[in-house]
Amino acid sequence: LYYQYLLITCSYVLEPWERSMFHTITVTVVAMVVYTAYVFVPIHVRLALEFFSQIFGGQPESRV
């Protein structure tokens, strides 16, 4: 799988220091996307469910 990753990203042609920088940036971006999805997606899913439940005849919640 690692060699397939090198072929797909064409990073096999990079020098070792360039490859390490590329991998560092790639891992950082993937980690930020996973963290953002973990934190913000549940909030947006809950808000969307509340919105659609009000549209399709759900009882509004009493807010104090």
Nearest-angstrom CA–CA distance, 27 and 39: 18
Domain assignment of residue 46, yes or no: yes
What's the number of domains the chain is made of?
Answer: 1
Nearest-angstrom CA–CA distance, 52 and 58: 8
CB 36 within 8 A of CB 42: no
Tokens representing 46 are 């809950």
Residue 28, domain extent: 15-56
Q: Is pLDDT above 70 for 63?
A: no
pLDDT of amino acid 64:
61
pLDDT of amino acid 56:
82
Domain assignment of residue 52, yes or no: yes
Q: Is pLDDT above 70 for 60?
A: no
Mean pLDDT of 17-31: 96
Nearest-angstrom CA–CA distance, 48 and 63: 18
Domain assignment of residue 41, yes or no: yes
Domain assignment of residue 43, yes or no: yes
